[in-house]
Chains A and B, each alone.
Chain A
Amino acid sequence: MLIDARNVVKAFGAFKAVDDASVSVEEGDILGLIGPNGAGKSTFFNCLTGDLPVTSGTVSFAGADVTRLPPEARAALGLARTFQVPLTFESMSVLDNAMIGALLRHPQARDARAKAREVLERVGLGPLIDTPARSLGTPGRKRLEIARALASEPKALLLDEAMAGLTPTEVRDAIELVKRVHGGGITIVIVEHIMEVIVSLASRVVVFHQGREIARGTPREVTSDPAVIEAYLGRRKVRHA
Chain B
Amino acid sequence: MNRFLIPGALLALALVYPLLVQSLPVYERLGALVLLGAIGASAWNIVGGYAGQVSVGHAVFFGFGAYSSVVVYTHLGWPPIAGAPLGMALSVLLAAVIGVPTLRLSGHYFSMATIAVGELVRVLSSTSEFLGGAQGLGGPAIPRTVFDLSFLSAMPFYYIFLVVLSLLLLLTWIIERGRMGFYLRAIKDSERAARSLGVSAGRYKLYAYMLSGAFAALAGSLYLCMFGFVDPDSGFGILISVKMVVMAALGGAGQLFGPLVGALILVPLEELSNSLLGGQGAGLTFVVYGAIIVIIARFLPSGLLSLLNRRKVNRVD
Contacts and interface: CB of A to CB of B under 8 A. Distances in A.
Contacts of B177: 109
> Which of B177, B185, B316 is the most central at the interface, judged by chain A CB atoms within 10 Å of its CB?
B316
Interface string B34-76: 0000000000000000000000000000000000000000000
Contacts of A149: 196-197
Interface stretch (A14-22, A57-65, A70-78, A210-218): A70-78
Chain A interface extent, by class = 35 or more
Contacts of A104: 197-199
A75 B195 contact: yes
B316 to A, nearest CB: 5
Contact of A72 (B189, B201, B254, B311): B201
B178 interface: yes
B195 A136 contact: no
Interface string A170-213: 00000000000000000000000000000000000000000000
A129 B166 CA distance: 33
Interface string A45-85: 00001010000000000000000001110011000110100
Contact of A152 (B183, B198, B201, B315): B198
A100 B200 CA distance: 12
A91 B190 contact: no
A92 B317 contact: no
B186 A109 contact: no
Contacts, number: 97
Contacts of A103: 179, 182-183
Given A81-B196, A103-B182, A139 B317 contact: yes
Given A89-B186, A103-B182, A109-B177, A148 B197 contact: yes
Contact of A51 (B178, B185, B188, B192): B192
Given A89-B185, A91-B185, A135 B314 contact: yes
A87 interface: yes
Contacts of A71: 192, 195-196
Contacts of B313: 132, 134-135
A90 interface: yes
B194 interface: yes
Contacts of A131: 316
Contact of B315 (A76, A92, A135): A135
B253 to A, nearest CB: 11
Contact of A96 (B182, B192, B311): B182
B228 to A, nearest CB: 42
Contacts of B183: 100, 103
A153 B22 CA distance: 60
A80 B198 CA distance: 9
B190 A89 contact: yes
> Which of B189, B254, B313, B317 is the most central at the interface, judged by chain A CB atoms within 10 Å of its CB?
B317
A152 B316 CA distance: 25
B273 to A, nearest CB: 34
> Which of B178, B193, B197 is the most central at the interface, judged by chain A CB atoms within 10 Å of its CB?
B197
A132 B178 CA distance: 20
Interface string B154-191: 00000000000000000000000111001101101110
A13 interface: no
A99 interface: yes
B184 to A, nearest CB: 11
Interface string A104-128: 1001110010000000000000001
Given A71-B195, A101-B198, 17 more contacts: A51-B196, A72-B195, A72-B199, A72-B201, A80-B197, A81-B196, A89-B190, A89-B193, A91-B189, A92-B185, A101-B197, A103-B182, A131-B316, A132-B311, A135-B313, A137-B316, A139-B317
Closest 6 CB pairs of A and B: A87-B193, A75-B198, A104-B198, A89-B189, A140-B317, A87-B190
13 contacts: A51-B192, A51-B196, A71-B192, A72-B200, A75-B195, A88-B193, A89-B186, A91-B185, A92-B189, A100-B182, A101-B197, A134-B313, A135-B315
